[in-house]
Amino acid sequence: MEGRNVLLVTGANGYIGQGVVKQLLDDGSKVIAVDFAADHVDSRAVVYQADLFSVEDPLKEFTYYGIQAEKVLHLAWRDGFVHSALSHIEDIPRHYMFLKRVVDGGVKHLSVMGSMHEVGFWEGSIKEDTPTNPQSLYGIGKDTLRKCVQLLAEENALIYQWIRGYYIVGNTEFGSSIFSKITVAEKRGDKEFPFTKGQNQWDFIDYDEFCRQVAAIVEQDEINGVINACSGIPQKLCDRVEQFIRDNRYHIRLAYGKFPDRPYDSKAVWGDNRKIHKIMEKYHADNE
């Protein structure tokens, strides 16, 4: 099947990377996993602990038992949940030069993790051609890299996939999302979790399903460009978090109104799921 390719995955030890690497391996892909650390990377992958920005020829440095990667999935990103971190701007040329090096090395299929925060304040469904006006350094960093990579793809006739992520729901304590923070607080024995009013409606997707979507996107090459990895359904933040607490049988309770909403957070926003729906239909058919 198409998934049985050699893929180089950066940021493999991160919150998203751990699950995506596992899903790719489960699908039969051969994975080269690269990150600063490797303590949470699936042992079936070929793992390299390295600073990928310092490597001059990544395809020759990071191989699958001597075989070079056919595809690159770039998940690496620092401080994703600290939207004001200067690293989002400082690292842009480093990300771009890494991706240019793999393209110069011969890779023709490039997939990069984006974010709905590229769009900025928006009401309604986000489509692939929705105008972007990011309101945070994180969003600006992602949007700038997207534009640079799009030019790189056009100049080199690449299969190019910009995977635009939304709000991931998972109960691991290793992430930095609100769900991970609630899990940490629960395990610590906290009785309450300080919260906003929770009235904003966002696109939530369970962690395992998100990882399946990312794997499915990368494993095919017919549907490309900007692709929303999403549920396509808006849901109130308070409702989704309360459901998360119930599903995990946590005892912690939300302390509403302790924090204000961020001024750049949309009141109701979700991803257009038509592209990912087509991809997942084929993915499930291929894996039956």
Per the CB < 8 A criterion, the answer to whether 244 and 171 are in contact is: yes
Q: Catalytic pick from 48, 138, 207, 283?
A: 138
Q: Is 15 a catalytic residue?
A: no
Per the CB < 8 A criterion, the answer to whether 202 and 235 are in contact is: yes
Measured distance CA(102)–CA(94) in Å, rounded = 13
- The string of DSSP letters for 148-198 reads HHHHHHHHHT-EEEEEEE-EEE---TTS-SHHHHHHHHHHHT-SEEE----
The helix-helix angle for 274-286 and 207-219 (nearest 10°) equals 80
Per the CB < 8 A criterion, the answer to whether 193 and 253 are in contact is: yes
Strands (DSSP E) along 12-158, which ranges?
30-35, 46-49, 71-74, 109-115, 124-126
Helix (H, G, I), strand (E, B) or coil at 212: helix
Place of tokens 């946590």: 250
Measured distance CA(62)–CA(46) in Å, rounded = 9
Task: Tell me the longest C-alpha to C-alpha distance in the chain.
Answer: 55
The DSSP call for residue 139 is: H
- Cα radius of gyration (the chain): 19
Which residues are identified as catalytic? 138
